[in-house]
Amino acid sequence: MKSIRMALAQVNCTVGALAQNRAKILSQAQAAEKNGADLVLFPELALCGYPPEDLVLKPHFIDAVQKELDTLCEELPSELVCVLGLPLAGKNRPQNAAAVIYQGKVIASYAKQQLPNYGVFDEQRIFEAGTEPLCLQIGEARLGLHICEDSWVHSEEDARRFSDMELTALLNLSASPFHREKVSERQAVLQKTSAAVNAPLAYCNLVGGQDELVFDGGSLVISPRGEILCQGARFKEDLVFVDLPCTHLKDASDKAEILQIPSGKRSANLKALPPVKKPKAMDELEEVYAALTLGLRDYADKNGFQEILVAISGGIDSALVAAIAVDAVGADRVSGISLPTQYSSEGTRSDALQLATNLGIKMPMLPIQHLFDAYKDLLEPQWPGRGPDVTEENLQARIRGTIVMALSNKFGSLVVATGNKSEMATGYATLYGDMCGGYALIKDVPKTMVFDLCRWSNTQQGSERIPQTLIDRPPSAELRDDQKDSDSLPPYDILDGILRLYIEQDKGRDEIVAEGFDPHMVTRIIRLVDGNEYKRRQAPPGVKITPKAFGRDRRVPITNHFRPTPPPTPIPHD
């Protein structure tokens, strides 16, 4: 065998859907064999889905995974080597492992050695780390194994060991979630590892949405010089093939960690692979839009929601959410609702109607002024002598929240909240009001990017799908007369700059001020962020698209008296 044909099966698996995942794995393996592959590589924990979190701590879950593995071994093409990610029982805790399946049985397994414990990852809590390397010898091809983080934090000893083995390729089973700028970071790490082991690196990444995470695929084979030999699609399933030459190898019969596998029964008349067509590079806005679309689609579909409901105000946030929802599941599965009060302007009402028409979705308009008046009549005797304040503003949002959740109960629809990251950071949102919903799609999207994504969407459509008047109008919650966001918050380009430094880069007040921001403004924004953790803790999940999102990525206490600024005035819980 002068070369080995490998297939990278970039699949969209669902956590816990063991039989469904098994069927998908089998289908891809059969397609790989049909196209002459000697080996098919699947992503990390593909059989159970990623991240399984505490499911793997349940012994009966591991037993169920083992039963599906036993069935899969019987079904897979016997002469195809399958390298599959799954949890396997360890000595004390389960292991994040790769099973090597050949001729109807698991002939070897490898356990992930570097368990990430940062950001969205907490694998050290649930998995037991492996300690032994594994290398496969398939005919004249020699292949080392890594699982995701192993290629990020490999030791010099590990790199030297594989380099001495004269690998044909290093295989990496991965579940690497998306965020902005991740692709270049990922490719740099993989190229560095490929150079360290002096062999191409075949990297198979998961694709699909899982709660707050989106996996973007982009599986690839990269050379030690950084040349991409083949690459899978982004944000969708793909089966990628590559032929790698087998170099003359030193005898390895004395190396116990090299597993010998027969060369199989490849046809001598195997057709050559077509020339590699690398996917078109995606710019940042295209990537983010694709991640949001995939994340919403998979959250709705994997959780059994047939319809998505969006409260459309005529503002830019709900417009973007509605547009993405239509792109995610189709207009026939999306409904809008407009719930104006006396403070809703004619401009926002007409823009909401125009948006619904442009998107092709139904959107009843149900004025709620009479409900708002009834609440005030009921409550005002309870606070005699107190004038209107934020209480009345939030009351409108909470009436709307009650209505959309009632419709969700009646029709089983998924209510998608429309708050953005700038609002979530500063608390410019109402608990049990506009924060109501099962999914907060753009909770990690800064307001400035919301505008950019709306313009990008219109450019892609070649029309004002999202009305330009809506984009141009100064943002407003429209909960009182002549209200604008700028009454309560600094301009969004300034706000988002401060938030990026404080939240995503963990900069302190003085460091942020040194970047050129007004000291009083920085102090005020930090106080708002720190004082509104209680709100964010109660927000629905949403797609992670920045390097540090609220939720799994950033965990700070609600009751927290540490302040890098002078003591703040307490913020009322609204």
Distance CA 349, CA 339 (A): 9
Q: How far apart are the first and last CA of the chain?
A: 70
Measured CA to CA, the distance from residue 438 to residue 275 in angstroms comes to: 45
User: Residues 40-68, buried b or exposed e (16+ Cβ, 10 A)?
Assistant: bbbbbbbbbbbbbeebbeeeebbebbbeb
Q: Are strands 228-231 and 439-440 parallel, antiparallel or unpaired?
A: unpaired
Three-state DSSP at 506 gives: coil
* Catalytic-labelled residue, pool 24, 33, 48, 112: 112
Number of residues in the chain: 574
Task: Report which residue type is found at 90.
Answer: G
Q: For residues 38 and 256, give the distance between their C-alpha atoms in angstroms, rounded to a whole number.
A: 23
Euclidean distance between CA atoms 136 and 132, whole angstroms: 13
C-alpha to C-alpha distance for 202 and 200, rounded to whole angstroms: 7
* Buried/exposed 393-414: b ≥16 CB within 10 Å, e otherwise: bbbbbbbbbebbbebbeeeebb
246 tagged catalytic:
no
Q: Is 182 noted as a catalytic residue in this protein?
A: no
What is the biggest distance separating any 2 CA atoms in the chain, rounded to whole angstroms?
92
Residue 382, Cβ neighbours under 10 Å: how many?
7
Please tell me whether the peptide bond between 116 and the residue prior to it is cis, using omega within 30 degrees of 0.
no
Q: Which of 148, 204, 230, 436 is catalytic?
A: 148
Q: Where are the alpha helices (DSSP H) in 305-380?
A: 316-329, 346-359, 369-379
546 phi/psi in degrees, rounded to 5: -110, 165
Mapped onto helix, strand or coil, the DSSP state of residue 52 is: coil
DSSP string, 362-429: B--B---HHHHHHHHHHHGGGSTTPPP-HHHHHHHHHHHHHHHHHHHHHH--EEEE---HHHHHHT-S
Tokens, residue 476: 């407003």
Residue whose C-alpha is closest to residue 142's, from 257, 9, 267, 271: 257
Distance CA 312, CA 405 (A): 14
Q: Which residues contact 429 (CB under 8 A, 6 or more apart)?
A: 419, 423, 435, 535
Q: Which of 33, 44, 68, 212 is catalytic?
A: 44
Helix, strand, coil percentages (3-state) for the chain, rounded to 5, are 40, 20, 45
436 among known catalytic residues: no
**In the block, which residue shows the tokens 């499911």?**
55
Q: Which residues are tagged catalytic?
A: 44, 112, 148
